[in-house]
Amino acid sequence: MKLNPKSLFFLILLSCASPNESDESLEILDPEMESFFSENSQAEVLAAGFDWAEGPLWLPDQEALIFTDVPKNKIWQWSELNGVSLFLEPSGYLGERTDKNEPGANGLILNESGELVLCQHGERQVAKMISSLNDPKPEFEPIAQSYESKKLNSPNDLIYNSKGQLFFTDPPYGMDPWDEKELDFQGVYRVDPDGELILLIDSLSRPNGIGLSPDQKTLYIGQSDPEKARYYSFDLDGNGDVIGGKMILDVTHLQSEEKKGLPDGLTVHSSGTLFATGPGGVLVISPDGKHLGTILTGEATANCTFDPEERFLYMTADSFLMRIFLK
């Protein structure tokens, strides 16, 4: 279902201006930042009008990007050719309640078979969409629902490695106050190809965005705790188990009225550089935690992803879908 002409006009009108009130889209703190962007790089708005855009994922075969609107329980699709259209509804909650705050899907990824895997807030599970990407339907097969017979909180973000192991975070953001919280921690988990669910980390207060280094030996986590707004790296052994970890960057002090947002979603460039949402927009961070600069979106920014050629970084920033061109 495509948006009606009035809605499309609204989106086109908004795309003419960035939510960033400044003319500058980049804050450069280190010369290495300039290896990714030209001096006049500008973030552009592709679509707007969403409640809270999240989970951007590029679909290579469709040459399109899909992303979630968590409060609206929908997934949208954007392409250069067709603009914005509805991809899937419902996306994360399949029941009849209409009073849930964040019922929809959050993080999205494709498995090795090209099937869509979703973090579903409302159902409090990680699941696979059964239908084809070309004809999506709200039919799902659970992948992870509980740990030691206790229901998960609300799976948030996820990443596969080349062995088919799935890593995901489980903070409580998708839970409503009246939902029963059964776990007394916020976990980071791994699901092996045989379906076994393994708890890797239970020491983070709000694990959120997740990514892997190009050699898949390092797991990165963004912690969206306003008191401890940090990024972590964890060393993985050949089995995908955590064998060590450390905090690589603390950005708690960067929070301000001008620089909205917390560490949330992240993606890892083929160079190993992190592009991680945080105060101000998307922070560009070296693998060892050096803050190289920030893509200033002017909004609290939820997540980001590249297209396969890494020509563009796509960003979901509050009610906006945005992108910026890379060298």
**3-state secondary structure at position 159:** strand
**Binding site annotation covers 73?**
no
Name the β-bridge partners of 145.
none
The span from the CA of 276 to the CA of 264, in Å, is 7
Determine whether 327 is exposed, middle or buried from the number of CB atoms within 10 Å of its CB (0-12, 13-18, 19+). exposed
Asked whether residue 54 is marked as a ligand-binding residue, the answer is yes
Write out the catalytic residue numbers: 264
Backbone torsions φ then ψ of 65, nearest 5 degrees: -110, 135
State yes or no: 134 annotated in a binding site: no
Q: What CA–CA distances, in Å, run from 188 to 61, 150, 219? A: 30, 15, 10
DSSP output for 264-314: --EEE-TTS-EEEEETTEEEEE-TT--EEEEEE-SS-EEEEEE-TT-SEEE
**Residues ≥6 apart with Cβ < 8 Å to 92:** 68, 70, 73, 103, 104, 105, 106, 118, 119, 120, 121, 122, 123, 174
C-alpha neighbours within 13 Å on the C-beta side of residue 142:
15
Whether residue 264 is annotated as binding a ligand: the answer is yes
Which residue positions form the known binding site for a divalent metal cation?
54, 208, 264
Which residue positions form the known binding site for substrate?
156
